[in-house]
Amino acid sequence: MTPVQYRQDAGLKSSDTRASSLADDYRRFVWRRVLCLGGLTLAAMTALLVDIASGPSMLGLLDVFRGLLNPEGIDAGTRVIIEDIRLPYALMAVVVGACLGLAGAEMQTVLNNPLASPFTLGVGAAATLGASLVIAFNISVLGVAAHVLLPLSAFVFAAAASLLILVLSRTLGASVHAVVLFGIALLFGINAVVGLIQFMADAESVQQIVFWTMGSLARASLDKVAIVALVLALCLPFSLRNAWAMTLLRSGEEQARSLGIRVERMRLVVLMRVSLLTAAAMCFVGEIGFIGLVAPHIARLMLGEDHRFLLPGSALAGAVLLSLSSIASKLLVPGVVLPVGIVTALVGIPLFITLIIGRSRRAAL
């Protein structure tokens, strides 16, 4: 007896009219989510334009439009500001925010832990360690310049930290909680080593390391943006391919297993992807810790737990958050561009609280 035959034998009594009603209600519900996702996309694009317009010399949004669509139509000074300075800076905020938002959402799902983020497992701290070693000891490998070696080292250390966690969790058969605990232990361990490096390093190196840990978009260039964007573009389709499986995993691990989902394998693959996204995002801008934790929660509040919407939503929320932080970093202290890493929480927390209050009010109605 084939499965379909079996279903027909089951004697479904529902008429087509009845069948359409719940499905139609759900389609309307999904349509609202699509609109919500569209709203987030619009917010990300608006934030990007405002980010380009804002800075020590403020530009009009119309100038920004003209500068992007028809560079020949604006004066040379404005063109240089837009193309060489503001555009890479603003685009880097979008792609890094999106990478961290996506990485955070995936990590929270596979570890079933709302406090998980790329920094929970020490992946971010490992990138800092990689960067600190290059800065403090002026390490040079095979004649590679320090400015190339620094992001490379950050990337390698972040990936190594992920691998270490994965290998240990696989060989020891550790539970999700053990993986999180091990990650936190690793985070403290690495922070201790970074502290030791700072203690041993000269004053100039310490300053550079501290600046790196604050996270800054100032080192952005279009080449670097392209690298991070490429990593995001490579990872996102694989993330979305897993959307149904991740949704099921969130509703219950045993049920997901019984539905044929190979949970351990998925966890392994997702953690690898998270480490790639985090390392790519961090290697050019330094530590930006808040986005990966909060962007998934913002997306969850707006879009729910269906990962078809949650994953792109979290990436967009991350992009919006970091773009808004970038704008704030240029406007908070007139004439000074603050490191964006120290502004993200200041911008993100009010937004997050507003969303929570909004949802509570709607639930109370």
Q: Where does this chain bind other proteins (CB under 8 A)?
A: 1, 3-4, 6-7, 9-14, 16, 18-23, 25-26, 29, 112, 244-245, 247-248, 250-252, 254-255, 257-262, 300-301, 304-306, 363
Enter the DSSP assignment of 85.
Answer: I
The 3-class secondary structure across 245-296, one letter per residue, is: HHHHHHHCHHHHHHCCCCHHHHHHHHHHHHHHHHHHHHHHHCCCCHHHHHHH
Is the CB of 10 or the CB of 76 nearer to other proteins?
10
Is the CB of 87 or the CB of 302 nearer to other proteins?
302
33 phi, psi to nearest 5 deg: -70, -40
| Pick from 217, 229, 187: nearest CA to 344 | 217
Amino acid at 178: A
For 192-215, give the DSSP string. HHHHHHHHHS-HHHHHHHHHHHH-
CB of 350 to other proteins, least distance (A): 22
Cα dihedral across residues 254, 257, 259, 265: positive or negative? positive
CB of 327 to other proteins, least distance (A): 29
CB of 12 to other proteins, least distance (A): 5
Is the CB of 69 or the CB of 364 nearer to other proteins?
364
Q: CA-to-CA distance for 341 and 329, rounded, in angstroms? A: 9
CB of 29 to other proteins, least distance (A): 6
Is the CB of 18 or the CB of 361 nearer to other proteins?
18
CB of 257 to other proteins, least distance (A): 6
Is the CB of 170 or the CB of 262 nearer to other proteins?
262
Is the CB of 7 or the CB of 170 nearer to other proteins?
7
Enter the DSSP assignment of 341.
Answer: G
Residues 283, 336: contact at Cβ < 8 Å? no
Is the CB of 67 or the CB of 101 nearer to other proteins?
101
Residues 278, 103: contact at Cβ < 8 Å? yes
CB of 245 to other proteins, least distance (A): 7
CB of 262 to other proteins, least distance (A): 8
Q: CA-to-CA distance for 270 and 199, rounded, in angstroms? A: 36
Q: CA-to-CA distance for 125 and 189, rounded, in angstroms? A: 9
CB of 264 to other proteins, least distance (A): 12
Is the CB of 18 or the CB of 147 nearer to other proteins?
18
Degrees, nearest 5: CA angle 201-202-203: 120
| 3-state DSSP assignment of residue 174 | coil
